[in-house]
């Protein structure tokens, strides 16, 4: 069981997890090292409910905009805006439930790779 995280730590968890959505070889071991101090179920939830909805389109374009790393401040702002929109709109929450289900299916390999690199 990992420890809870501060807002600043959460931002860095966002940034670490966003590396799975860049257009370069993904270092899952590095992502695991950066996130293994926290509760794995919370990290997985953050991956699919907060990071993936913002970052997944980078992997789905012919020429991805982000090659090496997402901008930390922009990423944090985009995630906060997504969460606020979800909070403010019933229809957005329903749409995002479908999106998250699809992301968990489509990108299930990301969590498998991260979690297998956690050092127990």
For CA atoms 38, 40, 41, 46, give the dihedral sign. positive
pLDDT band at 1 (very low <50, low <70, confident <90, very high): low
pLDDT value at residue 57: 86
Quote the CA–CA distance of 99 and 36 in Å, as a whole number. 26
Model confidence at 120: pLDDT above 70: no
How confident is the model over 39-49, as pLDDT tens digits? Answer: 999 999 999 99
pLDDT band at 86 (very low <50, low <70, confident <90, very high): very high
Report the percent of the chain where pLDDT is more than 90.
71
pTM for the model stands at 0.89
Model confidence at 31: pLDDT above 90: yes
Model confidence at 98: pLDDT above 60: yes
pLDDT value at residue 64: 46
- Residue 19, classified by CB atoms within 10 Å of its CB into exposed (0-12), middle (13-18) or buried (19+), is buried
User: Closest by alpha carbon to 40, among 22, 19, 13, 6?
Assistant: 13
pLDDT value at residue 24: 82
């Amino acid at each position: 069981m990992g420890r809870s995280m501060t807002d600043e730590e959460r931002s860095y968890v966002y940034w670490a997890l966003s590396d799975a959505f860049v257009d370069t070889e993904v270092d899952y071991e590095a992502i695991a090292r950066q996130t293994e101090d926290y509760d794995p179920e919370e990290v997985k939830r953050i991956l699919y409910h907060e990071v993936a909805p913002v970052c997944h389109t980078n992997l789905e374009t012919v020429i991805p905009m982000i090659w090496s790393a997402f901008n930390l401040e922009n990423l944090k702002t985009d995630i906060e805006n997504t969460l606020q929109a979800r909070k403010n709109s019933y229809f957005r929450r329903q749409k995002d439930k479908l999106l998250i289900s699809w992301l968990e299916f489509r990108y299930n390999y990301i969590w498998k790779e991260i979690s297998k690199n956690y050092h127990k």
